[in-house]
Chain A
Amino acid sequence: GAVVSQHPSRVICKSGTSVKIECRSLDFQATTMFWYRQFPKQSLMLMATSNEGSKATYEQGVEKDKFLINHASLTLSTLTVTSAHPEDSSFYICSARDPGGSNEKLFFGSGTQLSVL
């Protein structure tokens, strides 16, 4: 089946640095990717919708200057957490939709655990 690869799986960084997370669709071209954030023992909260070739659409309350999203190709979207602080520590998950179209063809990456010291 289709696979979405997310890298890195875990990252530890110092406060004030920026961290980039990559999300790749491996065997299909994803015109749309989604980025979620998940705190321990909580649900997934949608942060933004990433559209290839255009600006991302952010959910209410998500700082677009803090969480930079780039979807420069049909197989790659990146999330950059800029000037990270301890409160940004979380599990970040991407998903990608196969444009072949049905809702079922939405695949999730394995997530990135970000720890900001």
Chain B
Amino acid sequence: QQQVKQSPQSLIVQKGGIPIINCAYENTAFDYFPWYQQFPGKGPALLIAIRPDVSEKKEGRFTISFNKSAKQFSLHIMDSQPGDSATYFCAASITAAGNKLTFGGGTRVLVKP
């Protein structure tokens, strides 16, 4: 059972555009929602994370929007650059259950120059 559904699977934008990636979860016990960036042949790197008591969080060009009632959260990449081309994963975990991450399926983002 996939507990975190991510869409779209891939995304192409022009430089300066705003890729938007969406995730939906089922388990209401999740209380930590991070986003990771992964380049080919490398491990994921934490970009930004949010908890359910906050509806939006910004760090640099990355923004998370969180809708608790809809059980959805999204990542926006402002002023995207070719160097942002990577695979992005949303994830969710339950702090009291040892923080094991459940990952979404991933979104391959290509930013064209």
Question: Which chain B residues border A109 with CB–CB below 8 Å?
Answer: 43
Whether A44 and B89, one on each chain, are in contact in the complex, defined by CB atoms closer than 8 angstroms, is yes
Grouping DSSP codes into helix (H, G, I), strand (E, B) and loop, the A interface class, with mixed when no group exceeds half, is: strand
Interface residues in A24-83 (C-beta closer than 8 Å to B):
32, 34, 41-46, 49
How extensive is the interface on chain B, given as a class? 20 to 34
Whether B98 and A49, one on each chain, are in contact in the complex, defined by CB atoms closer than 8 angstroms, is yes
Q: For residue B9, which residue of chain A has the nearest CB?
A: A41
Q: Mark A82-112, 1 if CB is under 8 A from B, else 0.
A: 0000000001010101000001101111110
Task: State the CA gap A42–B89 with chains docked (Å).
Answer: 10
What is the number of residues of chain A that contact chain B, defined by CB distance less than 8 Å? 25
Of the residues A32, A93, A103, contact of B93 by C-beta under 8 Å: A103
Whether A106 and B46, one on each chain, are in contact in the complex, defined by CB atoms closer than 8 angstroms, is yes
Whether A103 and B49, one on each chain, are in contact in the complex, defined by CB atoms closer than 8 angstroms, is yes
Select the stretch in B12-20, B61-69, B72-80, B100-108 that faces chain A. Answer: B100-108
Whether B44 and A44, one on each chain, are in contact in the complex, defined by CB atoms closer than 8 angstroms, is yes
- Given contacts A103-B34, A113-B41, whether A46 and B98 have CB atoms under 8 Å apart is no
Task: State the CA gap A87–B111 with chains docked (Å).
Answer: 33
Residue positions of A touching B, CB distance < 8 A? 4, 6, 9, 32, 34, 41-46, 49, 91, 93, 95, 97, 103-104, 106-111, 113
Q: Which 3 A-B pairs rank lowest in CB-CB distance, beginning with the nearest?
A: A108-B43, A103-B32, A43-B103
Residue positions of B touching A, CB distance < 8 A? 32, 34, 36, 41-46, 49, 89, 93, 95, 98-106, 108
Knowing that A43-B104, A104-B49 are A-B contacts, what are 20 other residue pairs whose CB atoms are under 8 Å apart, sorted by A's residue number? A32-B98, A41-B106, A43-B89, A43-B105, A44-B44, A44-B89, A46-B100, A46-B101, A46-B102, A49-B98, A93-B43, A103-B34, A103-B49, A106-B99, A107-B46, A108-B36, A108-B43, A108-B44, A109-B43, A110-B43
